[in-house]
Structure 1
């Protein structure tokens, strides 16, 4: 204050101390703060490296962290742990808020993420999953709606996206979904061998976001929000297939024509400079994920909360079912015996009436339907139950 030109009287008045005290302070060479002698290392010192690494994994829950370090020999109290965790949590929040959008060179990177939303599908409120792939350079986008996020669905969506873009990027960035990543809580997460085999088949490198730092893939997360807000809000669709047809038309006619806020170009323009690796004529990747099922007396097999028909002669036989994402294939001793479009919601019965041809003669049935049955029927389980009660199916 003295260096600022203030008089001793002025300083005395502002600090409410005597002028003699001010003079004494000014005569001293420097201010010496109180310092505790023989200061012992803090009780938490040896545990801080563990807390710094472990806290984000437990969402900065001080109670859980306190419990863990007590088992490691910590002799202090909970309050000390809570006070130590507070700045760690605050630093983490600041890092999350200060997300940087990294630009990538043409053809280098795509980002993939899932979203979910309940929409009106076929007159029913249905939860759908939203697969989004965004090319990092051009911001070109591919969107597909599904009923689950299983591995074979994820793989099918990738193949559809590659076909949409007409090529494959060098690498794809993912969050840490359990279909792709094993041991997500560890620093060096392992990629699911089945998914790694798929990525090698198409020749790209899967890369993972840093654990608990998902916002490093902000481009695709923005894409998911954009689809929910700008396309799905207020929409109704007769079927899942219709929803997927309409969203691709929306991408072509709307999204690809709008000026992007970051690139200041329409995505269609930089997309022509993406230099993706061209797709070859290789067949689709086959994920060997077989399910063994026994055919019930009604010629149906159960899978994923729906039922699918097979020819009646396979009743009581064990079959192999393969889920191809949007197609269900059923085999008996290596022979393909039935294919069905995958049910678009749970609790459906997918029937091919050809599978029941000749069954009425076999059973000496006395009553035939008044009108020809369609080749393939999709029925709810309520309708199916009434058919069983009426004797229309094998009992």
Structure 2
């Protein structure tokens, strides 16, 4: 029937483009039907139904993604397939048609958001980059919500992108650092940067005489780029970066599971290389990575790095975790105890020199740690100098305990035997010994003699023996009355303590209760 409809419309004078629109076909399909006989068209249609499709081996996985996330786009399906199966070779049109067919067969509709856009002239190479911030909420490994913040840059001519993520809101200092990282990633700096009215860089629009924050004003003057600030309700002036923000949210971040910020940033860079900067741009019909190779030559060089960001080309920031380690390429490297501060920024700078990883507090500051670079994964590279010197505290504790005994030689022998028998619980035993000394001071020396004589090498035994000796003394009859030892000093009349309460005869109680 489709073959007949195509030929009928052609005989009625319709052009190929009109036939394609009327029958919802591609123009190539219309040309094929026009060049075929009825028998050839029948054979071709039958072969389409029997032909194995390239994505059939991944059908179940794609279906599971669509069922779990009905709003998943075909471009995101393409990226996930490339991430899951690096050796796969597929085109965007193949994925789009396959996903569309699965949605139709299994009735998985997709909501499409339509927004009006106005076409703008393309800018020359190296003239402009657009910058914007965004945030998303994703699930972590424990299925809990985690809010992440990111900054995006895009070169307006090539559409070459850069993204950097943080687990906390951005500060002006963070924004400046990310600018430097973006210029290194781009291989240079454009003449103009376009921003929204963000509080990180601007104080007031001031009727065109824009007032910037002090830090960003200093940065702009030192770098020497032009700044263009978009007016409110004017998304067209920065439509490229708005599309990038949406692209990052929907194609990279959406439905992705968060583990830690370093791994997230590494996966983001891999996504840029694999999808963000590699896929053909729908407007330019070119790959951003290929156009960027030409545009890079028109960017301003940024080799003389800023004084407070010197060594940035070889220095990377990392977050210090609460167990005083940083993560680099799926491994953990130790830092000195106390590097992590609960309310501090907890950011350090790392450099890679040959096979050595160097960690600094500031880009040119003191070296906090040096480690041999590990090429494995999941390893903890720890320096002995970064471990807590537990022996020093225990040794001082032992000396404090021993000095409280008269026979220090015997106490030293007892403490030594405890250390040998209970190496993991030395501190606990020392605390028990201190308790015994404090609460049973008159009997502690005799208890120590008993323990050494009977080879009772345990702090629990020393405490129990001292407690037993103390109880024995308390039960012995005393020649002097002991009750007055507990009399408060404010009692002067001891006869009051020796007074007895009056008693009544039983008959009176029976009378009160209604008896005899």
TM-score, structure 2 as length reference? 0.40
Structure 1 segments (4+ residues) deviating >6 Å: 320-323, 325-329, 366-370
Q: Structure 1 residue 145 and structure 2 residue 176: aligned? A: no
Distance 1:255 1:118 in 2: 20
Q: How does 1:1-395 map to 2 (within 5 A)?
A: 99-121=118-140, 123=142, 124-147=144-167, 148-184=169-205, 187-274=208-295, 275-283=297-305, 286=308, 336=366, 354=385, 357-358=388-389, 360-362=391-393, 364=395
- How many Å apart are 1:278 and its aligned residue? 4.7
SS of equivalent to 1:236: coil
Q: Which has the higher contact order (CA 8 A, sep 6+)?
A: 1
Distance 2:214 2:347 in 1: 18
SS of equivalent to 2:282: coil
Distance 1:138 1:108 in 2: 11
- How many Å apart are 1:283 and its aligned residue? 3.9
- How many Å apart are 1:221 and its aligned residue? 0.5
Q: Is the 8 A contact 2:348 2:360 kept in 1?
A: no
TM-score, structure 1 as length reference? 0.51
Structure 1 residues 189 and 241 mapped into 2: Cα distance closer, same or farther (>3 Å)?
Answer: same
Distance 2:256 2:262 in 1: 14
Structure 1 residues 170 and 187 mapped into 2: Cα distance closer, same or farther (>3 Å)?
Answer: closer
Structure 1 residues 173 and 361 mapped into 2: Cα distance closer, same or farther (>3 Å)?
Answer: same
Q: Is the 8 A contact 1:330 1:339 kept in 2?
A: no
State the Cα RMSD in Å.
4.1
Q: Is the 8 A contact 2:191 2:225 kept in 1?
A: yes
Q: Is the 8 A contact 1:187 1:211 kept in 2?
A: no
Structure 1 residues 176 and 159 mapped into 2: Cα distance closer, same or farther (>3 Å)?
Answer: same
Q: Is the 8 A contact 2:129 2:194 kept in 1?
A: yes
Task: Give structure 2 stretches of 5+ with no counterpart.
Answer: 1-114, 311-321, 325-333, 351-358, 371-381, 398-418, 426-516
- How many Å apart are 1:189 and its aligned residue? 2.7
Q: Deviations over 1:39-72 (max 9, x none)?
A: xxxxxxxxxxxxxxxxxxxxxxxxxxxxxxxxxx
SS of equivalent to 1:247: helix
Structure 1 residues 271 and 336 mapped into 2: Cα distance closer, same or farther (>3 Å)?
Answer: closer
Distance 1:106 1:193 in 2: 30
Task: Give structure 1 stretches of 5+ with no counterpart.
Answer: 1-95, 289-297, 301-307, 341-350, 371-395
| Structure holding more helix per residue | 2
Structure 1 residues 335 and 116 mapped into 2: Cα distance closer, same or farther (>3 Å)?
Answer: closer
Distance 1:162 1:226 in 2: 21
- How many Å apart are 1:160 and its aligned residue? 1.5
Q: Deviations over 1:67-105 (max 9, x none)?
A: xxxxxxxxxxxxxxxxxxxxxxxxxxxxx9665534211
Distance 2:130 2:171 in 1: 18
Distance 1:100 1:182 in 2: 31
Distance 1:272 1:335 in 2: 35
Structure 1 residues 260 and 197 mapped into 2: Cα distance closer, same or farther (>3 Å)?
Answer: same
